[in-house]
Structure 1
Amino acid sequence: MSEQIQRAKVLKELEPLHSAWQDWQRAQESLRDSASLLNDPDPTIRELANEEREALSTTLSSYITDMFPSLLLPSTSSPTSSLSAIIDLKSGVGGDESSLFLGEVLRMYERIAAASGFTPEMVSKNDLEGSRWGVKDAILEVKGKGAYDMFRWESGVHRVQRVPATETSGRVHTSTIAVIVLPNSDPHAAEGEQDIVDEKDVRVDVMRSRGAGGQHVNKTESAVRLVHEPTGITVSMQESRSQHQNKARAWQILRARLLDRKMLEEAQKKRAARRNLVKGADRSEKIRTYNYPQDRVTDHRIGLTVNNIMGVLEGEGLVGIIEELKRENDAQAMEDLLSDVD
């Protein structure tokens, strides 16, 4: 039954491609039929035949450049199209300035998520002490089908170059933050599907919360730490006063990290030595620079520069960058697909 269900699912996914292929064949046949009318003695018929050939040629060209690639690629390059996303942000080089920039990027992701029809929800957030906007680290969940495929391009090191508000000499400082986008795995999404983690492999520790947070700190054992012993992955959560909520969140993050690890390993096996847009599991790679003095944002993976920092931080400009990254990735995926066929 599982094989039949899988086969039916594949056939359903191929229906648009089959329909497009039939349209392509009909257009080709019409193009061949119009050839005999190009030499018709009636000039009106010849003119109509020429117009039809031009229109059919344009249609066939669009099928090759747009229609077929868009129908072929989703089934081969995006098995994650139904997943939500978890965005993990950490401040890096630059001290307080790094934390301030992290806060701005976090707001950028919240805005673009909401504008795209997703639901952003803060999992944890460690604010910079004494700062209204600075954030040392944060985990943002973006709920909604397709969220992971949209935000996956944000993984890597983001660099900002600007003059800090506290800088008296006007010197430009360089700060960095690290972003990791994880696929949000729901163990109950597909009935009968094996969970990414075996609970017997996980050690669960409960402890008292540490740090600022009110009277409950150090009085109730609400903090939770999960240790996945086969991989050594550790997740700690103390955002909520409820141990139950912290445990649920910790399991969610652990599953996301394990799924991300599995996907990266599979991608490396398939990719081998080929060029890739987001290079493997190296999350230390600098992917983008936000240069305030020159009002430009540069994505180093595709050499794209946008002259409007505030437009990017408001979200609209980031959508354009993401679309260019996706377009480049689709072109590479199609090249790899054709290479496999050869």
Structure 2
Amino acid sequence: MSSPEDIARLRQIKDSEKLSSAWSTWNETREQLAETALLLSDPDPSMRSMASDEIGTLSDTLNSLAASTFPSLLIPPSTTNTLSALMELKSGVGGSEASLFLADMLRMYQRLANNTHWKANIVAKNDAEGGGIKDAIVEFKGEGAYDALRWESGVHRVQRVPATEASGRTHTSTVAIVVLPLAEESDTHDEALFSMSDIKLEVMRSRGAGGQHVNKTESAVRLTHIPTGITVSMQDERSQHQNRRRAFQVLTSRLMDRKLTRDMEERRASRRSLVRGADRSEKIRTYNYAQDRVTDHRIGLTMKNLTSVMEGDGIQLFIDAVQKHHAESVLEDMLEEGKEEEDGQH
């Protein structure tokens, strides 16, 4: 059986072969372009016409290599591209309207999961009156889920007229989302992330609406990671053992997220990226129902047809655009770092 190191080495060899092949194609195409350009002055009009058409085709090949092939091969592969995702949604300002919008967003992400063949599973949910949801935690299991959804972290703002608003006045409400790398559910813990001596474990009876106890056994679990103060409470499962496993899964995901964010910040130091991902208080997107548009404030992308985002597959366009922007910013930083190193050698 191949070790992770062997697999990484094979992938590196494969990537270098692709880059070498693309570079060969680039050089061959440039040579063909130079040779074909000479034919533009040929006395035969049909030869000049063929040369002109050929130059257009060769130029398209060079543009494609420069715009997409080389950038995709030069950017280091994501170290998190195999991870699933754990999404936490919390209603913010706007009371019951925020809870209703959270329910809409949850359905939007579940539809996205279905379209991308991820498995969506609601881990915990706190319902609100009138069909809304106060907060929820959802697993998205599948390769690439974390890399795709991580940029959804932040404040999502909705502007619409609530069904209960008699005067027709538009209200602004918010939902805050945090996307974490999904740690597999386990009785054991990752010693690289935390030690059991740093964990305070409390058990209590599950509570329902109004604070009343809903069972007679102490099945609810609360974990506190003492060094960071991170607290996780879980009571949705039927047994203390299941709640404990779930709580450790969420705690591990939050600590893994802290480590990934810290590592990213250390690697890029002063990297200037519009899509930071680490700032969860940042307003990232507005859903304006009256104007039938959705705007992503980080990349300046506005899309008409809000229904296609909330009820169709329009959200995928935003996810793809933000990922593309991130890849471009990584490439720009790599080129800048290379130029700084080169300047330092002179």
Using structure 2 for the length normalisation, give the TM-score.
Answer: 0.87
Residue 134 of structure 1 is matched in structure 2 by: 132
Residue 310 of structure 1 is matched in structure 2 by: 307
Alignment of 1:53-132 (within 5 A): 53-75=55-77, 78-128=78-128, 130-131=129-130
Residue 184 of structure 1 is matched in structure 2 by: 182
Q: Distance in 2 between matches of 1:49 and 1:100?
A: 62
Residue 30 of structure 2 is matched in structure 1 by: 28
Alignment of 1:219-230 (within 5 A): 219-230=216-227
Residue 286 of structure 1 is matched in structure 2 by: 283
Contact 1:161 1:291 in 2 (8 A): yes
Alignment of 1:153-172 (within 5 A): 153-172=151-170
Contact 2:185 2:246 in 1 (8 A): no
Q: Report the secondary structure of 1:16's partner residue.
A: helix
Deviates more, 1:18-27 or 1:55-64: 18-27
Q: Report the secondary structure of 1:204's partner residue.
A: strand
Residue 12 of structure 1 is matched in structure 2 by: 14
Displaced runs of 4 or more, over 6 A: none
**Counterpart amino acid of residue 277 in structure 1:** L
Deviates more, 1:133-142 or 1:295-304: 295-304
Please report how far the alpha carbon of residue 163 of structure 1 lies from its aligned counterpart in structure 2 after TM superposition.
1.6
Q: Structure 2 vs 1, CA of residues 2 and 256 (structure 1 numbering), >3 Å: closer, same or farther?
A: closer
Deviates more, 1:161-170 or 1:270-279: 270-279
Please report how far the alpha carbon of residue 58 of structure 1 lies from its aligned counterpart in structure 2 after TM superposition.
1.5
What are the superposed Cα offsets for residues 17-42 of structure 1, whole Å, 9 maximum, x if unpaired? Answer: 23322322332333344455555565
Contact 2:222 2:247 in 1 (8 A): yes
Please report how far the alpha carbon of residue 318 of structure 1 lies from its aligned counterpart in structure 2 after TM superposition.
1.1
Please report how far the alpha carbon of residue 199 of structure 1 lies from its aligned counterpart in structure 2 after TM superposition.
3.5
Alignment of 1:134-283 (within 5 A): 134-186=132-184, 195-212=192-209, 217-279=214-276, 281-283=278-280
Q: Report the secondary structure of 1:168's partner residue.
A: coil
Q: Report the secondary structure of 2:89's partner residue.
A: strand
Aligned pair count?
Answer: 333
Q: Which runs of 5+ in 1 are unaligned?
A: none
What are the superposed Cα offsets for residues 241-295 of structure 1, whole Å, 9 maximum, x if unpaired? Answer: 1222212211211111111111111222233333223335321111111122222
**Counterpart amino acid of residue 16 in structure 2:** L
Please report how far the alpha carbon of residue 212 of structure 1 lies from its aligned counterpart in structure 2 after TM superposition.
4.8
Q: Structure 2 vs 1, CA of residues 3 and 299 (structure 1 numbering), >3 Å: closer, same or farther?
A: closer
Please report how far the alpha carbon of residue 187 of structure 1 lies from its aligned counterpart in structure 2 after TM superposition.
8.7
Q: Report the secondary structure of 2:75's partner residue.
A: helix
Match of 2:54 among 41, 52, 70: 52
Q: Structure 2 vs 1, CA of residues 180 and 43 (structure 1 numbering), >3 Å: closer, same or farther?
A: same
Q: Distance in 2 between matches of 1:168 and 1:247?
A: 46
Contact 1:224 1:238 in 2 (8 A): yes
Q: Distance in 1 between matches of 2:283 and 2:293?
A: 16
- Percent identical among aligned pairs is 56
Q: Distance in 2 between matches of 1:2 and 1:297?
A: 42
Q: Distance in 1 between matches of 2:304 and 2:161?
A: 18
Using structure 1 for the length normalisation, give the TM-score.
Answer: 0.88
Q: Distance in 2 between matches of 1:42 and 1:289?
A: 59
Could you say what the CA RMSD is over the residues aligned between the two structures, in angstroms? 2.6
Q: Distance in 2 between matches of 1:205 and 1:18?
A: 57
Residue 327 of structure 2 is matched in structure 1 by: 330
Q: Distance in 1 between matches of 2:289 and 2:162?
A: 11
Q: Distance in 2 between matches of 1:317 and 1:251?
A: 34
Q: Distance in 1 between matches of 2:321 and 2:228?
A: 35
Q: Report the secondary structure of 2:314's partner residue.
A: helix
Contact 1:185 1:252 in 2 (8 A): yes
Q: Distance in 1 between matches of 2:16 and 2:127?
A: 48
